[in-house]
Amino acid sequence: MFLLQNDIGLTSVRYRGLLVPHRAILEVLARCIRPLLFENDDAVYHYSKRGSSTLLAFGEEYFVVFAEHQRADYVPDRIRIVRGFSGGPSLAIDTFVTVNAVGEEIEDVRALRISREHHSRRDLFDFAPVPERLPPVQAAKMLIAFGTPTAKSEISDDPGHVHVGTVPVPCTYDRPSINATGLHHAKITASRGPFLPLDLDGMSGGAVFSIDGQPGQYVANYRGMILRGSNGYLHYIDAALIRRIFEKFGGS
């Protein structure tokens, strides 16, 4: 995966308690992103992709988050989330995990609790932790969004041939929404990546991360879930709202 322009003195970044070399941080953060798939009744194309989803850890619980507008007419038991990550910028769909719907709506967010029998210890590093508190996003050294754009997806009738490109999108923080608390706007930084101009379709449900701190003490933090993208901007719901959802589910 392409290394974003390193102009802030990145050498290593702390994530989930580990120091990750800066050249590997994009690959590590991208592991929490999964395509949001729905099993349908089509005789040929068994799965429909409706954008992205994000694996999140909260206490001892593990969740998938996405936006309700992505689900449309599909019922929760048709949702399929990829279990394994193939490495590199692509996901190889060879095993599906059925998740159990829980909870209530806050804004456009939906959270699905992953059944305990559907994850193993070796999978857990892929789940991004939801932080308890964060420094102001305006002070972040770098914002990076991750999603699975529709233009980089290839779906066939054979699950083993469903390949989804996970794309890092560099951003700069723009402003909070004046219409809703916890909703923010980030501007895509077109000069910092090889994937742009980018069709933003399919980014909903993806994740926004920040690089915070200073040289020698950088930390990668989950900032929130992408709600929509348009006109060079990504609109995301912040991690505090995601945390509130999980607290209602009884996580700790």
Contact 119, 112 (CB under 8 A): no
What would the mean pLDDT of 30-57 be, rounded to a whole number?
A: 86
Q: What are phi and psi of 251, to 5 degrees?
A: -70, 170
Mean predicted lDDT score pLDDT of the chain: 81
177-191 pLDDT per residue, tens: 888 888 999 999 865
* pLDDT at 252 exceeding the cut of 60: no
Say which residue the tokens 């590997």 belong to.
24
8 against 3, higher pLDDT = 8
DSSP notation for 3-36: PPP--S--SEEEETTEEEEGGGHHHHHHTTEEEE
Task: Give the integer Cα–Cα distance in Å for 21 and 19.
Answer: 7
Peptide bond into 197 cis (omega under 30): yes
Please indicate, yes or no, whether the overall pTM of this predicted structure exceeds 0.85: yes
* pLDDT at 1 exceeding the cut of 50: no
Residues of the chain above pLDDT 90, percent: 35
* Residues 6+ positions from 98 with CB-CB distance below 8 Å: 77, 79, 80, 115, 118
Chain Cα centroid distance, residue 207: 3
Contact 127, 111 (CB under 8 A): no
What would the mean pLDDT of 97-112 be, rounded to a whole number?
A: 74
At 196, list the tokens.
């742009």
Domain residue ranges in the chain: 12-248
Fold (CATH) for 12-248: Thrombin, subunit H (2.40.10)
